[in-house]
């Protein structure tokens, strides 16, 4: 598994299928709920030159749902969990839907079922849509394009008065970080946060009950909620300081920033992201523009294309050889990956492949849900279920579709 990367729609849409293939060989993709919503939004987009919207959504879905990827939990659920005191690690890993604890014979393990989002993207990849999705797409486009950011940012006037006007984003984020640590404002911040993120009355009551028992700085009380609140302050105060524009779709771009704690690298071609993201990432994270990323992926693909067929079959174990030492992808891969060092190619025969498939299917068929939680450190196996179609790229990294690459295994 390569370094975790988060791509916004602008970057992903710009990539060709060949570039997405190379992307999959070096990185593990964090699929955010917002990019799925944006993909659906294109279902009712008015394209020029009689372009079929369904075809465009099908193409984008093919790029979104990569083999080496995981659907991140919605930031709203993570924010509420954090406010309720549940652990929300902000350690550059992807929070995913919990697996099912199972017992298979004498072994204990966990099975991760395909999520609803993964099933939906697979359906879109095959050009299958249901009627309500088109209605939902149309409603989302109307709402998202009629947001009044000038009006929304005016809610932050009460905070704006605590700081002088600034003409620099780096200065602004530093002022916000100082302001957020003022003890006398913590209660007001929590109340405003609950209203701003539309947290329901029942959950809000639980949160305030916990707050009354353990009044603290918001950053210690709920680290992830604190982070999301800081992102909102940065975004709307940047608007009030006229450091970013008030285009309605900027509000959509804001949502990607909530997921930055769950990635190592963020890539975007969006101007708001280019301005705000670098100030929100820490020293262990990196930002790369979509144009730079696309250029480097294309360069690697051209080198890969020149390889002999035999070399292509084995290239996944020596993929660093295709990178220039001064390239951005080389630097990012080396910085965020430690497992590659000393890694050796494991050659698996066709007989062994069949044996592994039979063993996995046997475990799936014999697994029974455990009556009590299993300590993850005592698990013997983990299985993630994925549906791969015959026209999908083969997981082995050959660059061929599954049907062409492993026809015998499919039979």
pLDDT in tens, 242-283: 999 999 999 999 999 999 999 999 999 999 999 999 999 999
Tell me, yes or no, whether 50 lies in a domain.
yes
Tell me, yes or no, whether 406 lies in a domain.
no
Specify whether the CB–CB gap between 234 and 279 falls below 8 A: yes
Tell me, yes or no, whether 353 lies in a domain.
no
Most confidently predicted of 104-118, 126-140, 256-270: 256-270
pLDDT exceeds 80 at position 12: yes
Domain interval for residue 185: 149-247
Q: Tell whether 170 and 136 lie within a shared domain.
A: no
Residue 57's pLDDT band (cuts 50, 70, 90): very high
Of the residues 189, 222, 247, the one at which a domain ends: 247
Of the residues 247, 280, 308, the one at which a domain ends: 247
Tell me, yes or no, whether 261 lies in a domain.
no
pLDDT exceeds 70 at position 314: no
Q: Tell whether 186 and 304 lie within a shared domain.
A: no
Q: Tell whether 191 and 319 lie within a shared domain.
A: no
pLDDT at 316: 62
Of the residues 220, 247, 274, the one at which a domain ends: 247
Q: Tell whether 87 and 176 lie within a shared domain.
A: no
Q: Tell whether 137 and 11 lie within a shared domain.
A: yes
pLDDT exceeds 90 at position 95: yes
Average the pLDDT over each of 248-252, 331-335, 367-371 and give the range with the smallest value: 367-371
- pLDDT average, residue stretch 332-354: 70
Q: Tell whether 184 and 304 lie within a shared domain.
A: no
Average the pLDDT over each of 57-71, 163-177, 347-361 and give the range with the smallest value: 347-361
Q: Tell whether 73 and 104 lie within a shared domain.
A: yes
Q: Tell whether 139 and 44 lie within a shared domain.
A: yes
Counting the structural domains of the chain, the total is 2
pLDDT exceeds 90 at position 207: yes
pLDDT at 347: 66
Specify whether the CB–CB gap between 129 and 43 falls below 8 A: yes
Q: Tell whether 114 and 194 lie within a shared domain.
A: no
Tell me, yes or no, whether 272 lies in a domain.
no
Tell me, yes or no, whether 218 lies in a domain.
yes
Tell me, yes or no, whether 194 lies in a domain.
yes
- What average pLDDT does the chain have? 88
Q: Tell whether 322 and 243 lie within a shared domain.
A: no
Q: Tell whether 76 and 103 lie within a shared domain.
A: yes
pLDDT exceeds 50 at position 342: no
Q: Tell whether 130 and 78 lie within a shared domain.
A: yes
Residue 65's pLDDT band (cuts 50, 70, 90): confident
pTM higher than the cut 0.85: yes
Tell me, yes or no, whether 394 lies in a domain.
no
- pLDDT average, residue stretch 64-72: 85
């Amino acid at each position: 598994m390569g370094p975790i990367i988060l791509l916004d729609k602008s970057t992903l849409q710009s990539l060709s299928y060949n570039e997405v293939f190379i992307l999959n060989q070096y990185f593990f993709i964090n699929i955010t709920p917002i990019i799925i919503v944006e993909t659906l939004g294109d279902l009712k987009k008015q394209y020029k030159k009689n372009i079929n919207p369904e075809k465009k959504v099908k193409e984008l879905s093919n790029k979104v749902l990569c083999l080496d990827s995981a659907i991140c939990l919605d930031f709203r659920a993570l924010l509420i969990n954090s406010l309720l005191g549940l652990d929300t690690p902000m350690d550059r890993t992807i929070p995913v839907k919990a697996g099912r604890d199972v017992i298979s014979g004498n072994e204990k393990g966990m099975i991760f079922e395909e999520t609803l989002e993964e099933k939906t993207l697979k359906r879109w990849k095959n050009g299958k849509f249901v009627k309500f999705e088109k209605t939902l797409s149309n409603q989302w486009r109307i709402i998202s394009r009629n947001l009044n950011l000038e009006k929304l940012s005016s809610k932050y006037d009460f905070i704006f008065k605590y700081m002088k006007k600034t003409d620099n984003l780096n200065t602004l984020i530093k002022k916000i970080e100082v302001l957020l640590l003022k003890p006398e404002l913590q209660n007001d911040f929590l109340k405003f946060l609950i209203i701003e993120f539309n947290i329901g009355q029942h959950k809000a009551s639980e949160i305030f009950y916990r707050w009354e028992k353990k009044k603290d700085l918001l950053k210690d009380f709920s680290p992830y909620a604190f982070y999301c609140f800081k992102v909102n302050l940065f975004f709307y105060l940047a608007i009030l300081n006229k450091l970013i524009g008030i285009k309605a779709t900027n509000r959509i771009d804001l949502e990607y920033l909530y997921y930055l704690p769950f990635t190592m690298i963020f890539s975007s071609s969006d101007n708001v992201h280019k301005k705000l993201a670098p100030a929100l990432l820490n020293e262990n994270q990196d930002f790369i523009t979509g144009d730079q990323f696309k250029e480097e992926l294309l360069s690697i693909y051209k080198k890969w294309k020149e390889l002999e067929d035999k070399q292509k079959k084995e290239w996944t174990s020596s993929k660093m050889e295709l990178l220039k030492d001064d390239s951005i992808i080389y630097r990012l891969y080396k910085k965020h990956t430690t497992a590659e060092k000393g890694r050796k190619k494991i050659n698996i025969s066709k007989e062994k492949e069949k044996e592994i498939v039979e063993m996995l299917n046997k475990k799936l068929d014999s697994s029974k849900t455990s009556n009590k939680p299993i300590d993850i450190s005592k698990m013997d196996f983990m299985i993630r279920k994925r549906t791969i179609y015959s026209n999908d790229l083969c997981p082995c990294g050959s660059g061929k579709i599954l049907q062409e690459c492993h026809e015998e295994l499919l039979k």
